[in-house]
Amino acid sequence: GFNFEEVYGERGRDFIEIHHIKPLSSLKEAVAINPKTDLVPLCANCHRMIHRRKNEVLTVEQLKALTKKLYTELR
């Protein structure tokens, strides 16, 4: 939901990070990547939080649950 252009102007246009749902390091051999099912666009903050703990990479759903909890508590 984060729009880099809204915050950073022209410099942020078309900027997004791409997350591999299956970590590349878990793939033993070369496989074809399907962008629709294997990749997800994330803002840089959310991407960093998903990878914050090396041994516990969150799913997007887990990250959403965390942020919802935080926003609910801040209100």
The footprint of Zn ion (CB under 5 A) covers: 19
Q: Which residue is nearest to Zn ion (CB)?
A: 19
Sign, Cα dihedral of 68, 62, 66, 45: negative
CA atoms within 13 A on the CB side of 55: 0
Q: Which is nearer to Zn ion, 55 or 72 (CB)?
A: 55
Give least dist CB 47 to Zn ion, A: 5
Give least dist CB 67 to Zn ion, A: 16
Give least dist CB 10 to Zn ion, A: 26
Closest by CA to 46, choosing from 72, 6, 17, is: 17
